[in-house]
Amino acid sequence: MDLRLLAFALLLVPGAPSAQEAARQSAPVVIANRTIIVLRGPIAGYSAEERARGATERIEATLDSDPHAAVSFAESEAGTRVLVGGNLGFIVTKIDIDAQAVETTSLLAKETAKRLERAIAERREQHSLRYLATAAAYAAAATAVYGALMWLLRLGSRRLGGYISVAADERARKLSLGSVQAFASRFVSLLGWLLALTATVWWLAFVLQQFPYTRRWGEDLQVNLLDMARQIVLAILGALPGLAFVVVIFFLARLFIRFARTLFDRVEHGSLELAWMDRDTAGPTRRIFSFVVWVFALAMAYPYLPGAGTEAFKGLSVLIGLMVSLGGASVIGQAFSGLILMYSRIFRRGDYVRIGDNEGTVTEVGMFATRIRTGLGEEISISNAAVLATTTKNYSRAVPGTGYVLDTVVTIGYATPWRQVEAMLKEAARRTDDIARQPEPVVRQTALSDYYVEYRLIAYSPAERPVIRAEILHRLHGHIQDVFNEYGVQIMSPHYMMDPPQPQVVPKDKWFTPPAKSSSAYLSEAPSPERKEAG
């Protein structure tokens, strides 16, 4: 033993390794599952593991012979000796202390002695059946209380959650905030889970502390829980000034938006007229203005958000920016297409339009898509980029005011007088309800094909609901068939197979076959070449 002390003393002479060089290894001395001290090495040829193992064996051997051995310490040239029952347990040397914390071997030895005395007491408790039985009884009682508390929390969260959710929903409906029952129920459920988790941690820490071997784990669990709660509370208190400033910023932004919304709503409802904005563009302008205000408010409030300066928050911001840059190109394109549709006023809500092969009433002109409802009750959603890329026909812009244009096409052979066909189509339009008399329906010959003439009937309906356009066209088609049947004209178009026995021409005496108008009416509308020459 004296040789070891001499070796320790050699460390103090000049030329010996420094404390930083000797502290490259460390090993704990553990008694009764408690860490008494962390010894470092190598020193005098002994590594840190060998020092810790030797100290543990000497202390365990002393306690086996005398469970009530007292702890003491004595100063020596090598450091401070910690004695157990008068026998050496270990020596606290200069390489074991933290010089930067102004720590000495004597001070560290005193703290180590306190931990060792507690570990010795717990070691005695581990070998006491009476103490272990008492600890088990306390643990069982705590478990029963914990189980009852969990049952009460489950029952209370259900009943209290239902009561609070119903009360909150009624209060929200009175304030015109919509239904919040699901949100209130989930909030109560989340609060119940937090209470249950806290109770579980406290129960587990209490049970572990009842037994000497697991007491350290219970104490660490309880200390960690308290430390976490303390950090949360301190973080909340530290963030309160910044959060208050953020609340003020968003409150002012919301107040400004509500004031501007009143202006936009008045323009949209027609009670206010502005030269730079009309009723159709008031809605999208309000949304754009609100978006800009919220973005500006977020930029102002960002530095005051809790954790805004942390690396995690910065990394999240970079991730969100990367996601927007990679996947937002098409979204931004659709949004700009929607703005073009809104501000170019190609159509508005309620117009009857034909977009590509789809025809119906516009029900919504959104930022990303346009929705139309067909006469069959189908709702079709078309992306705004596709709307801009195709041809759009607006049947509701033919004349001022409400209403829309109806048109239909029939193909009739050359053997039928064109004046008769025109008169029959106008007669069918007159028989159809919801087709206006003024402006008068017109018929245009849009094509002279190989086997037939293509006639297009164009009429106007003053109906305010474009959704009934399909029903009006249905009745118009029925009347066209009735009129053609009454005058013996077939709508089927002939196709050329061989030369007919008689030329397919209309004799002049049949040019005005009923219900065609008289020749004088047509001459007044379109002068013949003979009249032009006479003139």
Q: What is the mean pLDDT of residues 326-341?
A: 72
Element containing residue 202 per DSSP (H, E):
helix 181-210
Q: How many CB atoms lie within 10 A of CB 43?
A: 27
Which residue is listed with tokens 């103490």? Answer: 131
C-alpha 57/C-alpha 43 separation (Å) is: 19
Q: Could you tell me if 120 and 71 are in contact, meaning their C-beta atoms sit under 8 angstroms apart?
A: yes
Which band of pLDDT confidence, cut at 50, 70 and 90, is reported for residue 445?
very high
Residues 350-364: what's their mean pLDDT?
82
At residue 433, the pLDDT reads: 85
Q: Does residue 335 carry a pLDDT above 80?
A: no
Written as six digits, the tokens of 394 are: 């607006």
Residue 18 confidence (pLDDT): 47
How far is Cα 95 from Cα 83, in angstroms, rounded to an integer? 19
Q: Give yes or no for a contact between 432 and 475, defined as CB atoms under 8 angstroms apart.
A: yes
- What is the residue-averaged pLDDT of the chain? 78
Strand partners, 41: 25
Q: Is the pLDDT of residue 283 over 70?
A: yes
Q: Which helix (H) or strand (E) holds 454?
A: strand 452-461
Per the CB < 8 A criterion, the answer to whether 454 and 446 are in contact is yes
pLDDT digit string (tens) for 64-108? Answer: 888 888 888 888 888 888 888 888 888 888 888 876 766 788 888
State the pLDDT confidence band at 177, using cuts at 50, 70 and 90.
low
pLDDT at 12 over 70: no
Least confident of 74-78, 280-284, 363-367, 420-424: 280-284
In this prediction, residue 531 carries a pLDDT of: 37
Residue-wise pLDDT for 150-175, tens only, equals: 888 888 777 776 677 667 667 666 65
Spatial distance between the Cα atoms of 197 and 173, rounded to a whole number of angstroms = 33
pLDDT (0 to 100) of residue 140:
92
CB atoms within 10 A of CB 291: 12
Range in 11-25, 315-329, 482-496 with the lowest mean pLDDT: 11-25
Rounded to the nearest 10 degrees, how much is the dihedral formed by the CA atoms of 466, 469, 471, 475?
140
CB 66 within 8 A of CB 85: yes
* Cα 467 to Cα 303: distance, rounded to the nearest angstrom: 52
pLDDT-wise least confident of 6-10, 62-66, 363-367, 383-387:
6-10
Q: Which pLDDT belongs to residue 3?
A: 41
Instruction: Report pLDDT for 281.
Output: 73
pLDDT band at 372 (very low <50, low <70, confident <90, very high): confident
